[in-house]
């Protein structure tokens, strides 16, 4: 039998795509992720012996390991072609360890191959090379894994004792939870106040436009307030007018005639955004389609493994010269020269940790027709967006004409603003909507009569709750998390029921509040923003070979282990707040019925628990009738805590919707 070469990747889809390019000389197998990791039943880290790690083979991967063993023994050469990041490097390292130590493959016969895109050219170039394992990346992943194991494995039992059994804590996830909890407190402290905006309506030759009061006695009507938040500052606007009496007094003082003081028109250029990185891909998918980070990354992974986009876990804004040439050629051919940027546009990567060898997320070929790729609706949406954003970064600027008309009436000034598209540029490629607001032709000194003076009442808004997009943006701004970690951070605290989603925004549950309260009180240095950001920077230095991961852990572990022992002895138990219903317990007749949060969501219980064991299902009415059967509509939650609407007569009536019926 002729000996074959063996190539190992993480997933079957990636294996299938690559096997099309390699031909019969290669056998391609998928490891299905990690084959070797820390044990589940114990800590697996010897903290007193330089953080020696006790890795074990995954029992669930025994069939895959047998396949790798059989193929490895026959192979002339083994190529490990896992993803080009820390996690991929670690998977490759552990598969390599297995081949060398359990199969008997010589180290010199094991090569590492990395590529940013799964195309024939990129795969063949990488496979034919003699790549080596990047141990700095392996060590960075190992450092993060051990650090997270120490925090999670040691903090979780403490939460069991001091808050509730079955809880767990994670290093970065706990910071994300704190952001959400702090925001809820900040919203509670915010004092809302009413204010009024004043408008004048004008007409000229059947053209109607509106101007807003913006100055009174040369003082700006619009005022700005600022609140200091846990993760930065929040600015909000209000006006000088806080009561209807003040508004009426001003309206009565106005003449009927308004004199045009100035008409200013100028052209403004709108630049296209840079190509996509992981955080921006997740933020845009959340804003556009309400996708979770986890869903976005799953769809992007499918596209990458099918060879349609470059690697999707990246914080680099670089695009290869060859790709730029193809992009510009495509724009020139499809839209013409005037839609092409006169010069090649380059974007500077801001992230200190970005690997310039990596690229931004882009299609492997912009010439591919989306409609002929056989994609499902989600894949199609994301691929189309990535393609449009990639093309836009080399397209011409959009040009709009902005017009401002200043109208004076006594000591007041009103302002009308108009905007009109002159040239769409890159907007013609992205398809972003742009609505013209054209003002009539007017001249300085012209006098107009207002057909109507009116006012609108408003209220200052508290800092908004985090959405998936804004939470990732905040983590990125603070330097917390990396491209591969944003999605798991959010999904983990959702799965633990520490937070829930309401109208696309996160709010803490009573359980999440209790966990956060305990961690902030006793481990404030671990769940603060600067510490977590610094830890990320230190791990980046491990990845670049400037630090040893064991030294990093030694600095952290000493004080942390002492604090653990101290807190276990002295910390008081934290009570999880309950919601009162005003009902008496039907079992014991003494306690009140309260709403608690359990592993599967909210439920009714007796306030005298554990003395009284009464429990009942909690049904939260939503204030509408079921469109199908007419019974009461209720609020329900998925297993991951996402809110949806259903019928109280479920399972007889199966009506359900994400949005509340109007």
The whole model's pTM is what?
A: 0.86
Helix axes 135-162, 529-543, angle to 10 degrees: 150
Integer angstrom CA distances of residue 355 from 84, 537, 540: 10, 14, 10
User: What six digits make up the tokens of 249?
Assistant: 């007094």
The sign of the CA dihedral 454, 459, 463, 465 is negative
Q: Which tokens go with 119? A: 């195309």
Query: Could you tell me which of 106, 134, 93, 126 has the C-alpha nearest to residue 10?
Result: 93
Question: Which pLDDT value is given to residue 547?
Answer: 96
Sign of the CA dihedral running 425, 431, 432, 438: positive
Distance CA 508, CA 498 (A): 6
Cα 293 from Cα 314, distance rounded (Å): 14
Q: What's the confidence (pLDDT) of residue 555?
A: 94
The CA distances from residue 9 to 18, 76, 96, 202, in Å, are: 9, 17, 12, 67
Query: Helices (DSSP H) in 222-355: which residue ranges?
Result: 244-253, 278-289, 293-305, 321-335
| Torsion sign over Cα 511, 517, 518, 524 | positive
- Separation between Cα atoms, residue 146 and residue 90, nearest integer Å: 13
Structure tokens at 302: 């499918």
200: left (phi over 0), alpha (psi -120 to 50) or beta: beta
- For 137, the token pair is 């990346």
HEC sequence for 42-77: CCCEECCCCCEECCEECHHHHHHHHHHHHHHHHCCC
Give kind and range of the element (H or E) at residue 90: helix 86-98
183, 471 in Cβ contact below 8 A?
no
Q: Which residues contact 610 (CB under 8 A, 6 or more apart)?
A: none
Nearest to 543 by CA among 361, 352, 360: 352
Secondary structure letter of residue 634 according to DSSP: E
CA distances from 397 to 340, 394, 601 (A): 9, 9, 50
Treating both helix axes as pointing N-terminal to C-terminal, what angle do 86-98 and 62-74 enclose, rounded to 10 degrees?
A: 70
Q: Tell me the pairing of strands 26-30 and 5-9.
A: parallel
Hey, how many other C-beta atoms are within 10 angstroms of the C-beta on 157? 15
Nearest alpha-carbon partner for 283 in 468, 463, 433, 478: 468
The predicted pLDDT at position 580 comes to: 87
Omega before 640 within 30 of 0, i.e. cis: no
Provide the Cα torsion 350, 356, 362, 367; round to 10°: 130
* Residue-wise pLDDT tens digits, 306-332: 999 999 999 899 999 999 999 999 999
Rounded to whole angstroms, what are the CA distances from 26 to 4, 29, 138, 602?
Answer: 6, 10, 26, 54
Q: Where in the sequence numbering do the catalytic residues fall?
A: 311
Q: At which residue do the structure tokens 């003449």 appear?
A: 255
Helix H or strand E segment including 604: strand 601-606
Return the number of other C-beta atoms located less than 10 Å from residue 188's C-beta.
8
CB-count burial class (<10 Å; 0-12, 13-18, 19+) for 450: buried
Instruction: Check the CA dihedral 587-588-589-593 and report its sign.
Output: negative
pLDDT digits (tens, 9 = 90+) for 53-74: 999 999 999 999 999 999 999 9
**116 and 122 Cβ atoms separated by less than 8 Å:** yes
155 HSE (CA, 13 A, CB side) = 25
Q: How far apart are CA 137 and CA 540, in angstroms?
A: 9
Strands (E) across 60-175 are located at 78-80, 110-112
Ranges of residues in the chain whose predicted pLDDT is under 70: 1-3, 351-357, 599-601, 639-641
Tokens of 82: 């896992």
C-alpha 508/C-alpha 641 separation (Å) is: 11
Residue 283 · residue 326 · CB < 8 Å: no
User: What b-and-e string marks burial along 517-543, b requiring 16 or more CB atoms within 10 Å of the CB?
Assistant: bbbbebbeebbebebbbebbebbbbbb
């Amino acid at each position: 039998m002729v000996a074959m070469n063996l190539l190992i990747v993480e997933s079957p889809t990636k294996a299938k795509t690559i096997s099309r390019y390699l031909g019969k000389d290669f056998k391609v197998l998928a490891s299905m992720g990690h084959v070797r990791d820390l044990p589940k039943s114990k800590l697996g880290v010897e903290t007193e012996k330089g953080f020696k790690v006790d890795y074990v083979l995954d029992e669930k991967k025994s069939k895959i390991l047998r396949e790798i063993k059989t193929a490895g023994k026959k192979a002339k050469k083994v190529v490990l072609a896992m993803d080009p990041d820390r996690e991929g490097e670690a998977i490759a390292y552990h598969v390599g360890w297995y081949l060398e130590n359990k199969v008997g493959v010589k180290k010199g016969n094991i090569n590492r191959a990395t590529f940013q895109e799964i195309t024939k050219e990129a795969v063949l170039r990488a496979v034919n090379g003699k790549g080596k394992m990047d141990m700095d990346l392996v060590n960075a992943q190992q450092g993060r894994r051990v650090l997270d194991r120490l925090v999670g494995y040691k903090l979780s039992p403490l939460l069991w004792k001091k808050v509730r059994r079955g809880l767990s804590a994670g290093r970065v996830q706990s910071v994300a939870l704190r952001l959400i909890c702090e925001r809820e407190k900040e919203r509670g402290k915010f004092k809302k106040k009413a204010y009024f905006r004043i408008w004048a309506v004008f007409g000229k030759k059947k053209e109607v436009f509106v101007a807003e009061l913006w100055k009174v006695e040369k003082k700006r009507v619009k005022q700005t307030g600022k609140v200091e938040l846990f993760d930065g500052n929040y600015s909000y606007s209000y006006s000088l007018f806080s009561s209807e009496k003040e508004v009426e007094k001003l309206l009565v003082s106005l003449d009927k005639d308004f004199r045009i003081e100035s008409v200013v028109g100028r052209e403004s250029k709108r630049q296209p955004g840079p190509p996509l990185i992981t955080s921006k891909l997740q933020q845009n998918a959340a804003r556009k389609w309400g996708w979770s980070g986890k869903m976005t990354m799953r769809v992007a992974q499918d596209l990458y493994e099918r060879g349609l986009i470059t690697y999707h876990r990246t914080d680099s804004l670089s695009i290869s010269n060859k790709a730029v040439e193809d992009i510009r050629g495509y724009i020139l051919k499809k839209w013409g020269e005037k839609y092409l940027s006169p010069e090649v546009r380059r974007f500077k990567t801001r992230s200190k940790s970005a690997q310039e060898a990596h690229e931004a997320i882009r299609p492997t070929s912009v010439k591919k027709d989306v409609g002929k790729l056989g994609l499902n609706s989600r894949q199609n949406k994301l691929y189309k967006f990535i393609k449009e954003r990639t093309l836009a970064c080399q397209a011409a600027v959009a040009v709009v004409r902005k017009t401002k008309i200043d109208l004076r009436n006594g000591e007041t000034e009103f302002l009308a603003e108009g905007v009109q598209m002159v040239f769409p540029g890159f907007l013609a490629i992205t398809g972003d909507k742009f609505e013209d607001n054209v003002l009539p032709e007017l001249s300085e000194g012209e006098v107009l009569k207002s057909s109507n003076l009116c006012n609108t009442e408003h209220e200052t808004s508290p800092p908004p709750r985090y959405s998936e997009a804004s939470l990732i943006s905040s983590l990125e701004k603070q330097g917390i998390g990396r491209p591969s970690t944003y999605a798991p951070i959010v999904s983990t605290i959702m799965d633990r029921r520490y937070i829930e989603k309401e109208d696309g925004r996160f709010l803490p549950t009573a359980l999440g509040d209790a966990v956060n309260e305990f961690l902030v009180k006793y481990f404030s240095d671990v769940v603060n923003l600067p510490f977590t950001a610094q830890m990320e920077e230190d791990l980046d230095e491990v990845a670049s070979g400037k630090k040893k991961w064991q030294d990093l852990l030694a600095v952290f572990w000493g004080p942390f282990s002492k604090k653990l022992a101290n807190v276990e002895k002295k910390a008081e138990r934290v009570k999880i707040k309950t919601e009162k219903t005003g009902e008496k317990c039907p079992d014991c007749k003494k306690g009140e019925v309260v709403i608690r949060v359990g592993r599967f969501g909210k439920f009714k219980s007796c306030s005298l628990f554990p003395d009284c064991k009464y429990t009942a299902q909690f049904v939260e009415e939503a204030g509408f009738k079921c469109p199908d059967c007419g019974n009461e509509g209720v609020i329900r939650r998925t297993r991951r805590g996402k809110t949806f609407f259903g019928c109280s007569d479920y399972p007889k009536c199966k009506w359900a919707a994400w949005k509340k019926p109007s």
